[in-house]
Amino acid sequence: QVQLVESGGGLVQPGGSLKLSCAASISIFRINYMGWYRQAPGKERELVASITSGGSTNYADSVKGRFTISRDYAKNTLYLQMNSLKPEDTAVYYCRADHNNYGYWGQGTQVTVSS
């Protein structure tokens, strides 16, 4: 069992920045894959960024060059640094962790980009 707790969402103006955090209940050394997903109203959940245990990263085309995924092993935490935010980035952002062939999700954190 892995529990994930996201934080860091909020309201930000276009062009602004936010940093999301996802704290895991186990050592992230034991997690094969972690990712950030988002779901906007009326749309399907989509991958934003991911990172494997080996350090390989993957980004959605829409966020490349603006978002950065990273992790802190000492804090067992996954991050998503979001810069140059756009209104279309508005969504609930979810953290996912794959461990022992099972995918775990956090409860989500709302990000709203609006002037």
Residue 56, pLDDT score: 96
Contacts of 56 (CB under 8 A, 6+ apart): none
Task: Give residue-wise pLDDT tens across range 54-71.
Answer: 999 999 999 999 999 999
Beta bridge partners of 52: 33
Residue 39, pLDDT score: 98
DSSP state string for 2-56: --EEEE--EEE-TT--EEEEEEESS-GGG-SEEEEEEE-TTS--EEEEEEETT--
Q: What is the mean pLDDT of residues 17-24?
A: 98
Residue 16, pLDDT score: 98
Residue 48, pLDDT score: 98
Interatomic CA distance for residues 101 and 107, integer angstroms: 20
Interatomic CA distance for residues 113 and 101, integer angstroms: 35
Residue 4, pLDDT score: 98
Task: Give residue-wise pLDDT tens across range 63-93.
Answer: 999 999 999 999 999 999 999 999 999 999 9
